[in-house]
Amino acid sequence: MCIIRASVTAVPQLLVSTVLLGGIYALIAVGLTLIFGIMRVVNFAHGEFLMLGMYLAFWAFTLLALDPYVLLFVSIPLFFGAGLLTYTLVMKGVIHASHNVQIFTTVGLSIALQNVALVLWTGDFRFVRPWYYSVVVRLGGTAFNLSQIAAFVVSVGFTVALFAFMKWSYTGRVMRATAQDRDAASLMGIDTDRVYGLTWAIGIVCVGVAGVLLAPLYPVYPTAGLQFVLLAYVVVVLGGLGDMVGALLGSLIVAAVEVVGSYVFGTAWKEVLYFLLFIAILLIRPAGLFGQRGTETLGV
Partner 1 sequence: MLRAEGLNVAYGDFQVLWDASIRVGEGEIVCLLGPNGAGKSTLMNTLSGLLKPRTGRVEFRGKRIDRLPAHRIVAEGMSHVLERRRLFPYLTVRENLVLGAHHPGARRHREESLVHIEAIFPFLRERRQQLAHTLSGGEQQMVAIARGLMARPRLLMIDEPFLGLAPRVVEEIVAVIRRIHADGVTIIFIEQNVELALRLADRGYVLESGRTILEGSSPELLQSAEVKRIFLGGRAG
- Residue pair 106/41 in contact by the 8 Å Cβ criterion: yes
- Residue pair 239/245 in contact by the 8 Å Cβ criterion: yes
Smallest gap from residue 100 Cβ to partner 1 (A): 17
Residue 206: closest CA among 100, 116, 76: 76
In the bound state with partner 1, the residue whose beta carbon lies nearer, of 140 and 189, is 189
In the bound state with partner 1, the residue whose beta carbon lies nearer, of 177 and 254, is 177
Residue 220: closest CA among 58, 29, 19, 6: 58
Decide: is 96 part of the binding site for partner 1 (CB under 8 A).
no
In the bound state with partner 1, the residue whose beta carbon lies nearer, of 137 and 191, is 191
Smallest gap from residue 189 Cβ to partner 1 (A): 3
Count of beta carbons in the 10 Å neighbourhood of residue 163: 16
Decide: is 294 part of the binding site for partner 1 (CB under 8 A).
no
Total residues interacting with partner 1, rule: CB under 8 A = 19
Distance from chain centroid for Cα 21: 12
Residues in contact with partner 1, shown as a per-residue x/- string from 115 to 154 under the rule CB under 8 A? ----------------------------------------
In the bound state with partner 1, the residue whose beta carbon lies nearer, of 86 and 192, is 192
> Could you tell me the maximum CA-CA distance found in the chain, to the nearest angstrom?
63
Report the site for partner 1 in 167-196 (rule: CB under 8 A): 170, 173-174, 176-177, 180-181, 183-192
136: β partners: 145
Smallest gap from residue 195 Cβ to partner 1 (A): 10
Q: Give the number of C-alpha atoms closer than 13 A to the C-alpha of residue 83, restricted to the C-beta side.
A: 29
- Residue pair 274/287 in contact by the 8 Å Cβ criterion: no
Report in angstroms the alpha-carbon separations of 209 from 13, 270, 279.
26, 25, 29
Q: Rounded to an integer, what distance in angstroms lies between the CA atom of residue 43 and that of residue 110? A: 9
In the bound state with partner 1, the residue whose beta carbon lies nearer, of 211 and 242, is 242
Residues in contact with partner 1, shown as a per-residue x/- string from 28 to 57 under the rule CB under 8 A? ------------------------------
In the bound state with partner 1, the residue whose beta carbon lies nearer, of 116 and 188, is 188
Distance from chain centroid for Cα 99: 21
Decide: is 298 part of the binding site for partner 1 (CB under 8 A).
yes
In the complex, the residues that contact partner 1 under the rule CB under 8 A are 170, 173-174, 176-177, 180-181, 183-192, 298-299
